[in-house]
A and B are shown apart, each in its own frame.
Chain A
Protein backbone atom coordinates (compact mmCIF):
# COMPACT_ATOMS: atom_id res chain seq x y z
CA UNK A 1 0.00 0.00 0.00
CA UNK A 2 1.07 3.53 -0.66
CA UNK A 3 1.58 6.08 2.10
CA UNK A 4 1.96 9.85 1.87
CA UNK A 5 3.55 11.86 4.66
CA UNK A 6 3.40 15.58 5.24
CA UNK A 7 5.57 16.39 8.22
CA UNK A 8 4.57 20.04 8.60
CA UNK A 9 1.10 20.37 10.17
CA UNK A 10 1.20 24.16 10.01
CA UNK A 11 3.30 26.80 8.30
CA UNK A 12 3.24 30.54 8.07
CA UNK A 13 4.69 32.88 5.47
CA UNK A 14 4.58 36.60 4.89
CA UNK A 15 2.96 37.99 1.82
CA UNK A 16 5.30 38.13 -1.19
CA UNK A 17 7.72 35.66 0.39
CA UNK A 18 8.45 32.10 -0.72
CA UNK A 19 7.48 28.97 1.18
CA UNK A 20 8.13 25.28 0.62
CA UNK A 21 5.81 22.52 1.77
CA UNK A 22 7.25 19.03 2.20
CA UNK A 23 5.83 15.70 1.12
CA UNK A 24 7.33 12.24 1.09
CA UNK A 25 5.74 9.04 -0.07
CA UNK A 26 6.36 5.35 -0.07
CA UNK A 27 5.59 3.06 -2.98
CA UNK A 28 6.97 0.09 -4.84
CA UNK A 29 5.52 1.35 -8.12
CA UNK A 30 7.87 2.68 -10.78
CA UNK A 31 5.33 4.85 -12.52
CA UNK A 32 2.69 6.95 -10.82
CA UNK A 33 1.30 10.47 -10.45
CA UNK A 34 1.74 13.01 -7.70
CA UNK A 35 -0.48 15.98 -6.93
CA UNK A 36 -0.80 18.97 -4.70
CA UNK A 37 -4.35 20.01 -3.84
CA UNK A 38 -5.42 23.18 -2.09
CA UNK A 39 -8.42 23.33 0.24
CA UNK A 40 -9.28 26.92 1.18
CA UNK A 41 -11.73 27.78 3.97
CA UNK A 42 -14.58 27.16 1.52
CA UNK A 43 -13.55 23.47 1.67
CA UNK A 44 -13.53 23.19 -2.15
CA UNK A 45 -10.62 21.00 -3.23
CA UNK A 46 -8.61 22.60 -6.03
CA UNK A 47 -5.83 20.97 -8.01
CA UNK A 48 -2.69 23.09 -7.76
CA UNK A 49 -0.14 21.07 -9.68
CA UNK A 50 0.58 17.53 -10.84
CA UNK A 51 3.66 15.54 -11.75
CA UNK A 52 4.07 12.34 -13.72
CA UNK A 53 6.77 10.18 -12.18
CA UNK A 54 8.28 9.26 -15.53
CA UNK A 55 8.98 12.92 -16.26
CA UNK A 56 12.24 14.19 -14.85
CA UNK A 57 11.37 17.83 -15.37
CA UNK A 58 9.73 19.47 -12.39
CA UNK A 59 6.20 20.74 -13.00
CA UNK A 60 5.50 24.46 -12.79
CA UNK A 61 2.22 26.38 -12.73
CA UNK A 62 2.73 30.13 -12.45
CA UNK A 63 3.83 30.80 -8.85
CA UNK A 64 3.70 27.12 -7.92
CA UNK A 65 6.49 24.67 -8.64
CA UNK A 66 7.55 21.30 -7.35
CA UNK A 67 10.86 19.68 -6.51
CA UNK A 68 10.39 16.03 -7.45
CA UNK A 69 13.13 13.73 -6.23
CA UNK A 70 12.10 10.23 -7.35
CA UNK A 71 14.95 8.34 -5.74
CA UNK A 72 14.30 10.05 -2.42
CA UNK A 73 10.51 9.75 -2.89
CA UNK A 74 10.14 13.41 -2.15
CA UNK A 75 7.69 15.85 -3.72
CA UNK A 76 7.82 19.35 -2.25
CA UNK A 77 5.73 22.34 -3.30
CA UNK A 78 7.24 25.81 -3.58
CA UNK A 79 4.94 28.81 -3.55
CA UNK A 80 6.60 32.00 -4.73
CA UNK A 81 5.36 35.52 -4.13
CA UNK A 82 2.83 34.25 -1.59
CA UNK A 83 -0.57 35.90 -1.62
CA UNK A 84 -3.25 36.14 1.04
CA UNK A 85 -5.45 33.95 -1.13
CA UNK A 86 -2.94 31.14 -0.80
CA UNK A 87 -4.05 30.64 2.79
CA UNK A 88 -5.44 27.11 2.84
CA UNK A 89 -4.83 23.48 3.67
CA UNK A 90 -2.50 21.85 1.19
CA UNK A 91 -2.67 18.11 0.56
CA UNK A 92 -0.11 16.03 -1.24
CA UNK A 93 -1.60 13.03 -3.04
CA UNK A 94 -0.39 9.92 -4.83
CA UNK A 95 -2.03 7.90 -7.57
CA UNK A 96 -0.89 4.73 -9.28
CA UNK A 97 -1.26 4.54 -13.02
CA UNK A 98 -4.45 2.93 -14.26
CA UNK A 99 -7.85 4.47 -14.77
CA UNK A 100 -9.40 2.87 -11.70
CA UNK A 101 -6.70 3.69 -9.20
CA UNK A 102 -7.52 5.95 -6.30
CA UNK A 103 -5.89 9.00 -4.75
CA UNK A 104 -4.03 8.57 -1.48
CA UNK A 105 -3.79 11.82 0.47
CA UNK A 106 -1.29 13.04 3.01
CA UNK A 107 -2.40 14.53 6.31
CA UNK A 108 -2.15 18.08 5.04
CA UNK A 109 -0.28 21.28 5.85
CA UNK A 110 -2.17 24.34 6.99
CA UNK A 111 -0.57 27.39 5.39
CA UNK A 112 -1.24 30.86 6.72
CA UNK A 113 -0.14 33.84 4.65
CA UNK A 114 0.25 36.98 6.73
CA UNK A 115 0.66 40.66 5.95
Chain B
Protein backbone atom coordinates (compact mmCIF):
# COMPACT_ATOMS: atom_id res chain seq x y z
CA UNK B 1 0.00 0.00 0.00
CA UNK B 2 0.90 3.67 -0.24
CA UNK B 3 3.20 5.03 2.47
CA UNK B 4 2.82 8.35 4.22
CA UNK B 5 5.45 9.62 6.63
CA UNK B 6 5.40 12.40 9.19
CA UNK B 7 8.25 14.28 10.79
CA UNK B 8 8.88 14.74 13.59
CA UNK B 9 7.15 11.90 15.43
CA UNK B 10 7.13 13.95 18.59
CA UNK B 11 8.08 17.48 19.49
CA UNK B 12 8.21 19.48 22.70
CA UNK B 13 8.31 23.23 22.46
CA UNK B 14 7.96 26.29 24.65
CA UNK B 15 4.82 28.37 24.67
CA UNK B 16 4.95 31.12 22.06
CA UNK B 17 7.18 29.32 19.59
CA UNK B 18 6.15 27.92 16.22
CA UNK B 19 6.37 24.29 15.23
CA UNK B 20 6.38 22.81 11.74
CA UNK B 21 5.16 19.28 11.01
CA UNK B 22 5.89 17.64 7.67
CA UNK B 23 3.73 15.09 5.88
CA UNK B 24 5.23 13.25 2.93
CA UNK B 25 3.85 10.75 0.46
CA UNK B 26 6.79 8.43 -0.14
CA UNK B 27 5.82 6.39 -3.17
CA UNK B 28 3.08 8.35 -4.83
CA UNK B 29 2.06 11.89 -5.66
CA UNK B 30 -0.72 13.29 -3.53
CA UNK B 31 -2.71 16.20 -4.88
CA UNK B 32 -4.80 16.19 -1.72
CA UNK B 33 -3.70 15.72 1.87
CA UNK B 34 -5.70 16.03 5.05
CA UNK B 35 -4.69 17.21 8.52
CA UNK B 36 -6.40 15.82 11.61
CA UNK B 37 -6.12 16.50 15.30
CA UNK B 38 -6.72 13.82 17.90
CA UNK B 39 -7.09 14.42 21.63
CA UNK B 40 -6.34 11.58 24.06
CA UNK B 41 -8.85 8.76 23.76
CA UNK B 42 -10.88 10.79 21.29
CA UNK B 43 -11.68 10.58 17.62
CA UNK B 44 -9.95 12.29 14.73
CA UNK B 45 -11.16 15.76 13.93
CA UNK B 46 -10.45 17.08 10.46
CA UNK B 47 -8.68 20.42 10.61
CA UNK B 48 -8.13 21.18 6.95
CA UNK B 49 -7.82 19.81 3.46
CA UNK B 50 -4.56 20.63 1.75
CA UNK B 51 -4.50 20.91 -2.03
CA UNK B 52 -1.26 21.10 -3.97
CA UNK B 53 -0.68 24.52 -5.42
CA UNK B 54 -3.68 26.18 -3.82
CA UNK B 55 -4.88 27.41 -0.46
CA UNK B 56 -5.99 24.91 2.12
CA UNK B 57 -9.65 24.53 3.00
CA UNK B 58 -10.16 24.83 6.75
CA UNK B 59 -12.95 23.28 8.76
CA UNK B 60 -15.26 25.50 10.73
CA UNK B 61 -13.71 26.63 13.97
CA UNK B 62 -10.10 26.04 12.89
CA UNK B 63 -8.00 29.21 12.88
CA UNK B 64 -6.18 29.39 9.58
CA UNK B 65 -3.72 31.98 10.90
CA UNK B 66 -2.93 29.68 13.80
CA UNK B 67 -2.51 26.52 11.80
CA UNK B 68 -0.69 27.36 8.58
CA UNK B 69 -0.80 24.73 5.87
CA UNK B 70 1.43 24.68 2.83
CA UNK B 71 1.24 22.07 0.08
CA UNK B 72 3.99 23.25 -2.19
CA UNK B 73 4.72 19.96 -3.94
CA UNK B 74 2.92 16.76 -4.84
CA UNK B 75 4.72 14.85 -2.10
CA UNK B 76 4.89 17.31 0.79
CA UNK B 77 2.41 19.18 2.94
CA UNK B 78 3.40 21.07 6.07
CA UNK B 79 1.41 22.17 9.09
CA UNK B 80 2.86 25.02 11.13
CA UNK B 81 1.41 25.69 14.55
CA UNK B 82 2.18 29.34 15.13
CA UNK B 83 2.67 30.85 18.57
CA UNK B 84 1.89 27.52 20.17
CA UNK B 85 0.19 27.36 23.54
CA UNK B 86 -0.39 24.44 25.92
CA UNK B 87 -3.92 23.97 24.60
CA UNK B 88 -2.41 23.18 21.19
CA UNK B 89 -0.83 20.07 22.67
CA UNK B 90 -2.30 17.15 20.80
CA UNK B 91 -1.66 14.35 18.35
CA UNK B 92 -1.63 15.56 14.76
CA UNK B 93 -2.20 13.10 11.92
CA UNK B 94 -2.01 13.63 8.19
CA UNK B 95 -3.42 11.50 5.43
CA UNK B 96 -3.13 11.49 1.68
CA UNK B 97 -5.47 10.44 -1.03
CA UNK B 98 -3.96 8.24 -3.71
CA UNK B 99 -4.91 9.35 -7.21
CA UNK B 100 -6.23 6.59 -9.40
CA UNK B 101 -6.82 4.27 -6.46
CA UNK B 102 -10.52 4.91 -6.29
CA UNK B 103 -12.10 7.91 -4.71
CA UNK B 104 -12.36 6.47 -1.26
CA UNK B 105 -8.93 5.52 -0.03
CA UNK B 106 -6.86 7.63 2.34
CA UNK B 107 -3.53 6.51 3.73
CA UNK B 108 -2.49 7.87 7.08
CA UNK B 109 0.82 8.99 8.46
CA UNK B 110 2.03 7.73 11.84
CA UNK B 111 1.19 11.00 13.58
CA UNK B 112 3.09 13.69 15.48
CA UNK B 113 2.72 14.24 19.19
CA UNK B 114 3.05 17.91 20.05
CA UNK B 115 3.59 19.00 23.63
CA UNK B 116 3.66 22.70 24.38
CA UNK B 117 5.12 23.62 27.75
Chain A residues close to B by CB (< 8 Å): 33, 35, 42-47, 50, 52, 91, 95, 97-100, 102-108, 110
Contacts and interface: CB of A to CB of B under 8 A. Distances in A.
Nearest to A52: B104
Contacts of B105: 47, 50
Interface residues of B, number: 21
A61 B45 CA distance: 27
A42 B108 CA distance: 12
Given A91-B43, A99-B97, A107-B42, A45 B108 contact: yes
A42 B46 CA distance: 20
Nearest to A6: B43
A106 B43 contact: yes
Tell me if B's interface is mostly helix, strand, loop or mixed. Answer: strand
Contact of B103 (A44, A47, A91, A99): A99
B110 A44 contact: yes
A91 B44 contact: yes
Contacts of B25: none
Contacts of A106: 43
